[in-house]
Structure 1
Amino acid sequence: MVEHGPRLTLIRQLADGQFHSGQALGELLGMSRAAIAKHIQVLQQWGLDIYRVQGKGYCLSQPLDLLDESQLKQLAPSLPAILVKPVIDSTNQYLLDRVGELSSGAVCLAEYQVAGRGRRGRQWISPFGSNLYCSMYWRLDAGMAAAMGLSLVVGVALAEWCEAFGGDGVKVKWPNDLYYQDQKLAGILVEMTGQAGEAAHLVIGMGINLAMPAQAAEGVTQPWTNLQQACGVLPARNELVADLLNRLQQTLLQYEAQGLAGFVERWNRLDNFLNRPVKLLIGPNEVRGIARGINHQGALMLETETGIHPYLGGEISLRSDA
């Protein structure tokens, strides 16, 4: 396991957005300025925009508002566990590996993911400290069949959370994304373990672009945006995250009580593609039609030349037919 202690100490020092000399940083960490320079190069690879000015030292392009585990626990006291892992392979994988040890509602957050993943095994770009990488474990006693449509429910919770902070134009995209002005804002990945007839163990992963710098998104192949652009001025990051965690917990409790039926109207109100021409990709096949929302099973209702049909699988193309 790689020891990231010195690099995290450097980040905490640089987080104020002020200049720090290589000599002062070296004295703090007990290493040479050359060693500091090598650590800075790694931090730049993590997506941090650090620059150096001769005679002044190193500085972040803007201050960092770092996650604080103790503050999050104070702001979200009803959650059984909140773990902040500054550097991690994947928050989802961390919880999946510990399902038997967790209480329902346990949360893992990270500043940087080495191997963040999205739907269908895609990579999730995860630069340090600029976005939100969060996973919640949830035990669903009703079993695996009851988990159908859970990503839609989480999408509704996230979109309504954005609305609460001024993001009135934030919409949901079937089955698991958030959009703003037809640009991707967030993704949801629900992974599940369990046996038939037993409780379902769910790990709900969320990747939300808060203030991702353009240079950190060079590997992103689709239009994207940040929550700052959708909402304007945001509260402090820990307050923002705690509000999301509290809202998500309450939404999942509602889902247990009401099922997906209690969320269909909420979803259709927020549907980014409602009544718009779309392409539904199902493996190598493509279905064109008009999106008409979802039904009570969470299926996409697509109007084609032969009528309105439900589809439970596939993915809406980012390119509409319009």
Structure 2
Amino acid sequence: MSPFPLLRLLSHEDFRPGPQLAEVLGVSRASVSLALKGAAEMGVEVQAVKSRGYKLAHPLDWVDETVVARHLAENARFFDLHCFDEIDSTNLALMAKAHTGAPSGLCYAAERQTAGRGRRGRAWHGAPGDTLMFSLLWRFNLGVADLSGLSLAVGLAVIRALQKHGVNGAMLKWPNDIVAPGGKLGGILIELSGDALGPSAVVIGIGLNVGLRDNARKALDQAAEALHTLGYRADRNTLLAAILTELASLLPAFERHGFAPLRDEWEACHAMQNQTVRLLMPSGDVLQGIARGVSNHGALRFETPGGEQQFHSGEVSLRSVV
């Protein structure tokens, strides 16, 4: 039994007895116990008190299609949002839909991904209620080669949305990370399909740490930060609607004009602009130089003693020199 039906019955205010939960769910007490164990493994803390039952240690902030649509207002017409308790990967699911002709604007959000992926195949982890994870299908009348810089443009949409909700400490790290002084806030994964001359279908995956509990932080293999520590106080429905609203205007503009008009704004948000950095190449080689910004097509401008070179998204990783 999935833990989610049980979690949706629990609140952080009142205890509910185990027999009552089993009756409402139509399962055995043993199934309730297994669901509680599954919730703990996902990082959700449930308090248990003998003779009283169970309640959530902290409230869960559920993503809700109706609430997001209300926040989107007139922009809701651009999107078809579906929320899942659990899915293998929102990106994978939307890529499959893209291949069957699904329209632009289809959006999947999930509380938990069992096979969520970040850039270069890294796993993406998120505890229910703490992480905003969603993917958006968008179709362009452009060839795949003309979409260079799209992941950087999407990063700007995220930053714009955060700034409008009082988060001023979030910045971008080339090519597709959202960061803060304390560590990584989230990331963007772009997957493309289509013809060389167009049209093309793009699945835009975005993951953000809204909250980050100690047990989740310890499970990560890199420094991480959460929006709550940067002053974000609204719920995830508000955040999802804010990002989609920015994308509703940015993506059509990108189709018309490309990344070049966004270049200066992106560089102003780049956490490593004009800093000495290391580039970790897929071959394992390490280059040291200065991150001088990006080209009109989103390539990293990297200054070395031998002159400036340009690197495209997917070829390198960027790390500060310590």
Scaled by the length of structure 1, what TM-score is found?
0.93
- Displacement, 1:233? 4.2
Deviation at residue 248 of structure 1 after TM alignment? 1.4
Q: Secondary structure at the match of 2:206?
A: strand
1:196 maps to 2:196 = yes
Identity of aligned residues (%): 34
Q: CA deviation at 1:46?
A: 2.1
Q: Secondary structure at the match of 1:78?
A: helix
What does residue 49 of structure 1 align with? 45
* Contact in 2 for aligned 1:152/1:175 (Cα 8 Å): yes
Taking the aligned partners of 1:261 and 1:277, their CA distance within structure 2 comes to 24
Amino acid at match of 1:28: V
In structure 2, C-alpha distance between the alignment counterparts of 1:240 and 1:317, rounded to whole Å? 27
Rounded to whole Å, the distance in 2 between the matches of 1:174 and 1:184 is: 12
- Residue-pair matches, total: 316
Compute the displacement of 1:147 (Å).
Answer: 1.1
Whether the 8 Å CA contact 2:167–2:232 is kept in 1: the answer is: no
1:66-94, Cα deviation, whole Å (9 max, x unpaired): 11112223333222411111110000011
1:255 is matched with 254
Cα distance in 2 for residues equivalent to 1:181 and 1:188? 18
Do 1:96 and 1:203's aligned partners in 2 also have CA atoms closer than 8 Å? yes
Distance 1:164 1:142 in 2: 30
Residue ranges of structure 1 left out of the alignment (5+ in a row): none
> 1:118, 1:187 within 8 Å by CA — same for their partners in 2?
yes
1:39 to 17, 30, 35: 35
Asked whether the equivalents of residues 174 and 315 of structure 1 are also in contact (C-alpha less than 8 Å), the reply is no
CA contact (8 A) 1:105 1:249 kept: no
Q: Which residue number corresponds to residue 165 of structure 1?
A: 165
Query: Deviations for 1:102-141, whole angstroms, at most 9, x for unmatched residues?
Result: 2112111011111100111110012222111110001111
Deviation at 1:260, TM superposition (A): 0.5
Contact 1:264 1:295 in 2 (8 A): yes
Distance of 1:16 and 1:61 partners within structure 2: 6
CA RMSD, Structure 1 to Structure 2 (Å): 1.7
* Aligned position for 2:92: 93
Could you tell me how far 1:182 is from its partner in structure 2? 5.0
Name structure 2 gaps, 5 residues minimum: none
The residue number in structure 1 matching 2:68 is 72
Partner of 1:315: 316
Structure 1: distance between partners of 2:62 and 2:246: 21
3-state SS in 2 of match to 1:82? strand
Contact 1:277/1:321 (CA < 8 Å) preserved in 2?
yes
1:153 partner SS: helix
Q: Equivalences for 1:20-35 in 2 at 5 Å?
A: 20-35=16-31
1:262-273 counterparts in 2 under 5 A?
262-273=261-272
Matched with 1:108 is 108
Deviation (angstroms), 1:55: 2.8
Structure 1 residue 297: deviation in Å? 1.6
Distance 1:297 1:233 in 2: 32
- 1:203-282 to structure 2, matched below 5 A, reads 203-230=203-230, 232-282=231-281
Residue type of the partner of 1:129?
G
CA distance in 2, matches of 1:82, 1:31: 30
What SS class does the counterpart of residue 224 from structure 1 fall into? coil
Q: Does 1:299 align with 2:296?
A: no
Q: How does 1:130-141 map to 2 (within 5 A)?
A: 130-141=130-141
- Equivalent residue letter for 2:233: L
Tell whether the 8 Å contact from 2:130 to 2:209 is kept in structure 1 after alignment. yes
The separation in 2 between residues aligned to 1:66 and 1:125, in whole angstroms, is 17
Alignment of 1:8-19 (within 5 A): 8-19=4-15
Find the residue that maps to 1:151 and give its secondary structure: helix
Distance 1:202 1:26, change over 3 A: same
Task: Give the Cα separation in 2 of the matches to 1:15 and 1:289.
Answer: 52
Instruction: Return structure 1 stretches of 4+ with deviation > 4 angstroms.
Output: none
In the aligned structure 1, how far is the partner of 2:309 from the partner of 2:302?
5
Q: CA deviation at 1:17?
A: 4.4
How does 1:142-161 map onto structure 2 within 5 Å?
142-161=142-161
Aligned to 1:179: 179
